[in-house]
Structure 1
Amino acid sequence: MEHLDAELISLLALGEQLGNESAAIHLASCRECGETLAALRRTVLVATADPAGVELMEPGSHNWHAIHQALGLSPSLAGDPLGQSAARARDARDFGEPSVNPAEAPTSLPLSSSAPPVPLPSGRRQPWARRGLWITGVAAGIVLGAAGAWTAASIFGRAEPPVAVPTPSAVVLAETPLKPLAAHAASGDAVVQRLPNGTRQLVIRLPDENVSGFREVWVGSADLSKMVSLGVLGNDPGVFVIPSGLDLAQYPVVDISNEPYDGDPAHSTESIARGRLTVPG
């Protein structure tokens, strides 16, 4: 099976729409391309997220232990330096003292060590490794591009994002109200439209609310045993192309989920709102 071009998947991750019907059908049926697209979309979201709203987690001491073993460092460096400094910072915060005592400030590490360097294993890369390389390269390009855009926005002012609007001549095929679930309060609606060129699109109107992750749009079977992701909901309304091979009679449920930034393409099982499509009569 010939997979989608890396550049095309990268453009989809940045929010571009598929203009090729055969590519849309392949994406709906290919697990590998779908997982690659989901991973790149999460990279875009992380790269463009507001740093002030992202809570950083402190790495555990087992991370330093693994680094220490992999690099063959001296036993004198076995202690986790970040854990020690973090502990001092917590104590200082609790008792109102300076976080670092000048008398206890760590000295510079020696530039050389008596431990011999550890040779890295060499060998031929497997196909999945080569594929991982271009994903990493594309992700790095996305991060750099997002950083440049953020800098430009800081200097010249942030431009309003383009909002996709439904085509006036579109024919409504099905619709449903979106009702909030669990601890969520946002409600809206979903409409399936057919454009003059025969393309179907799903239009989602759901006010934004403060969630821990990002909102993803799904269509699912009646019992929710099968789910297909259509993309990330950023703007309101959000417009998503429905692959021609996707039978909505088999996937009548529209689900908006709260997805964590964990790199897992599967549904998080936390739904924000949901509705079942019906034909207007």
Structure 2
Amino acid sequence: MPHPDPEELSLLALYKDWEDGNTRDHLQVCPECAADFAALRRTVEAVKTPPETGRLEVPGPQVWEGIHRELGLSESVHGDPLAGVREHYATSRPGWAPGQAAAGEASGDAPTSGHEVRQAEPTAERESLAEPVSLQDRAASRPAKRRSAAWWQRPGPWMAAAAAAVLVTAGAVWSLNQAPRPLAEADLAPLAQFSAAGSARVVESADGSRALEVRLSKDEAQGYQEVWLIAPDLSRLVSLGVMNAESGTFQLPAGLEISEYPIVDVSDEPVDGNPAHSSVSIARGTLAT
């Protein structure tokens, strides 16, 4: 049964009622995909859970200024998005300052309505309330419970954030699954009159194909560099190809056993049309798993 792609796992993690029986069945028998799905579900649950806003500290305006400066944002978003939040708490809670938590709202202490204040005030003060007030003053004295919910209290943004987080996590999982897996490595040491050193490693792709990655500190060939895999007794060898630079990647034959050809050899080959090894090796090393 083929592994589900990241998109299928993401949809299944976002929507519990997503109809995809094949993927669900696969998760029951594939520990690797089940672990990826569990990571996606944890991401969804973490992002969809609204924070306890009563315990959150509202930062000062310098925080957004620093973010805006470090990210190089445009002037169109220069305004502090939390300015309205600070204005709300500064108006409704005398003595509050940026950096303090909104503990009053978290504990359920609702702001006293204007009607309740007028009932508790003496007659002389009630008469003063009849004086005209500006629209700005009316807005400031309006009960907080009539204000629209802050952006982090609305469900829409949290769903979008959850979807974005799942896509990012799925992309990371997919990248890890697609990254070549190292199977064996070797240090390449210079031979005879040469000084170039380097490394080699065998990697396996997600589709099962294997490749040898070779790097040398410099190209010292008088003719051209050719990469070989050689048997331990030097009686058999396989040419992988020409390396025209200080590094190269060479596909391994499907049936080749690394244990039978563990020696990596980079030779100096003359341009003479002879396909055999020149017997002049620049660098050599043995693969270790």
TM-score normalised by structure 1 residue count = 0.39
**Higher relative helix content:** 2
- Structure 2-normalised TM-score? 0.38
Query: Larger relative contact order (C-alpha < 8 A, sep ≥ 6)?
Result: 1
